[in-house]
């Protein structure tokens, strides 16, 4: 199981704070996105946005990064603090 969090504009677009991915083995970030789109086809337009950032266990990662079971995965728009 991998827990996925969404933040800011993306959280509002998906109307979802977090969701669980029931997978039995590690998957790439890209595969995680595909699984989410399979579960919620209407999320495609928001999740396949190139500007979206991805973090695994609080570190920014790329699309090919391998997410292990029990990792914390998060997707969010570019940051705008300060």
Contact residues toward other proteins (CB under 8 A) are 5, 7-9, 12, 55, 58-60, 74, 76-82
Which is nearer to other proteins, 9 or 23 (by Cβ)? Answer: 9
Minimum CB separation of residue 38 from other proteins in Å reads 25
Which is nearer to other proteins, 18 or 38 (by Cβ)? Answer: 18
Could you write out the DSSP letters of every residue in 11-75? HHHHT-SEEEE--SS-EEHHHHHHHHHHH-GGGHHHHT-TT-EEEETTEEE-TTPEEPTT-EEEE
Minimum CB separation of residue 25 from other proteins in Å reads 25
């Amino acid at each position: 199981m991998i827990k996925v969090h969404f933040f800011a504009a993306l959280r509002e677009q998906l109307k979802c704070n977090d969701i669980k991915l029931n997978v039995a083995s590690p998957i790439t970030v890209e595969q995680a996105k595909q699984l989410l789109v399979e579960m919620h086809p209407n999320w495609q337009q928001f999740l396949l946005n190139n500007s979206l950032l991805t973090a695994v266990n609080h570190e920014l990662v790329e699309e090919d990064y391998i997410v292990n079971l029990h990792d914390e995965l998060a997707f969010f728009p570019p940051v705008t603090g300060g």
